[in-house]
Amino acid sequence: DAGVIQSPRHEVTEMGQEVTLRCKPISGHDYLFWYRQTMMRGLELLIYFNNNVPIDDSGMPEDRFSAKMPNASFSTLKIQPSEPRDSAVYFCASSLVTDYPKGTGELFFGEGSRLTVL
Amino acid sequence: AQRVTQPEKLLSVFKGAPVELKCNYSYSGSPELFWYVQYSRQRLQLLLRHISRESIKGFTADLNKGETSFHLKKPFAQEEDSAMYYCALSGQGYSTLTFGKGTMLLVSP
């Protein structure tokens, strides 16, 4: 398995443009997470899905951010319109919770998408 | 609310020296604690979890509920240990992880 696959790896765009980040989770995993990494705030959970259903999007900064998971093998994170403060590395991760409710499945991360908004 | 604090942004040691990366947490129930590591040009990956009570790459971490800490320790640091280390917490029954801001460990020869 190639692991969690994210694209693009790097994106440079101008303020006001729409940005779409993509993620393919590990086959068979039932949880998918989107995290944002910045120097100031570290790793922040934006949203997560269970069996393609959004469970908690309270970490999404504002209405400019949206995420979808149309099927078990694909998710997108969209920013429209983008702003310079959105510049960060966005990580997608997936997991399979095998010992719920006692345990948390190990998170497998993608390589991240580095976004720069000018 | 759950919170993870890693007080050091950067920890620099010499090869062979002991290492302790600090992690304190805030959670009212029984948490699960983890350490994740990101080596240069590699993905963020799980290093160890407290329920496993195992040593990985010479690293150990003990959950101290009295001090609400989960410090990561290694008696003799190696250059290949240089990486970004994140402490993470999951509340009981939940599948999400709350991460600390991370500590960069630099091991010099």
Distance from CA of B68 to the nearest CA of A (A): 19
Q: How far is CA B39 from the centre of its chain?
A: 13
Residues in chain A within 8 Å Cβ distance of B49: 106
- DSSP tag of A74: E
A101 vs A83, which has greater pLDDT? A83
Residue A101 has pLDDT above 60, yes or no: no
Low-confidence residues of chain B: pLDDT under 50: none
Residues in chain A within 8 Å Cβ distance of B34: 104
pLDDT class of A62 with cuts at 50, 70, 90: confident
The CB density around residue A59, as the number of other CB atoms within 10 Å, is: 16
Nearest to B97, CA basis, from A114, A86, A73, A91:
A91
Bridge partners of residue A6, in order along the sequence: A23
Nearest to A11, CA basis, from A22, A23, A19:
A19
Q: Which residue of B has its CA nearest to A34?
A: B96
Paired sense of beta strands B24-26 and B3-5, if any: antiparallel
Q: Which of A43, A100, A106 to mutate to test the interface with B (most CBs of B within 10 A)?
A: A43
Location of structure tokens 């240069």: B40
pLDDT 10s digits, B27-57? 888 888 999 999 998 999 999 988 777 888 9
pLDDT of the residue at A104: 63
Distance from CA of A82 to the nearest CA of B (A): 24
Residues in chain B within 8 Å Cβ distance of A44: 99
Distance from CA of B13 to the nearest CA of A (A): 22
pLDDT 10s digits, A19-32? 999 999 999 998 99
Tell me if residue A26 falls in helix, strand or coil: coil
The CB density around residue B97, as the number of other CB atoms within 10 Å, is: 26
Q: What's the angle, vertex CA A11, arms to CA A92 and CA A116, rounded to 5?
A: 95
pLDDT of the residue at B74: 96
List CB contacts of B1: < 8 A, sequence separation 6 or more: B26
Touching check for B46 and chain A: CB below 8 Å?
yes
Interface A–B counts its CB contacts (< 8 A) at: 57
pLDDT of the residue at A96: 84
- Are B89 and B98 a contacting pair, CB within 8 Å? yes
